[in-house]
Amino acid sequence: MSRKKHEPEEIVARLRQVGVLVSRGRSVAGAVRSIGVAQLTCSRWRKEFGGLQGDRVKRLKEREKENGRLRKAVSGLTP
């Protein structure tokens, strides 16, 4: 079974969709099932992207990527 890499904006949209479904009276398990991911995945996404909006998520991911690049550069400089 292949794994799908979800984009951060897509994750935020799906988390919002779960929130809407739960507010309309569906159970959390049913709402998560309807977006096509596991409950554990949804919990992990909520922990990472919980209160963020689409543009902020994009900036966060860009900064994480840049930090990784800078860490690699610094580790190459230290003996």
Q: How far apart are CA 15 and CA 45, in angstroms?
A: 8
Three-state secondary-structure class, residue 76: helix
pLDDT tens by residue, 39-56: 999 999 988 887 777 677
Q: How far apart are CA 32 and CA 42, in angstroms?
A: 7
Q: Is residue 3 part of a domain?
A: no
What is the DSSP code (8-state) at residue 37? S
Number of domains within the chain: 1
**C-beta separation of 39 from 29 below 8 A:** yes
Q: Is residue 35 part of a domain?
A: yes
Q: Is residue 2 part of a domain?
A: no
- Asked whether the whole model's pTM tops 0.75, one would answer no
pLDDT tens by residue, 15-37: 989 999 999 999 999 999 999 99
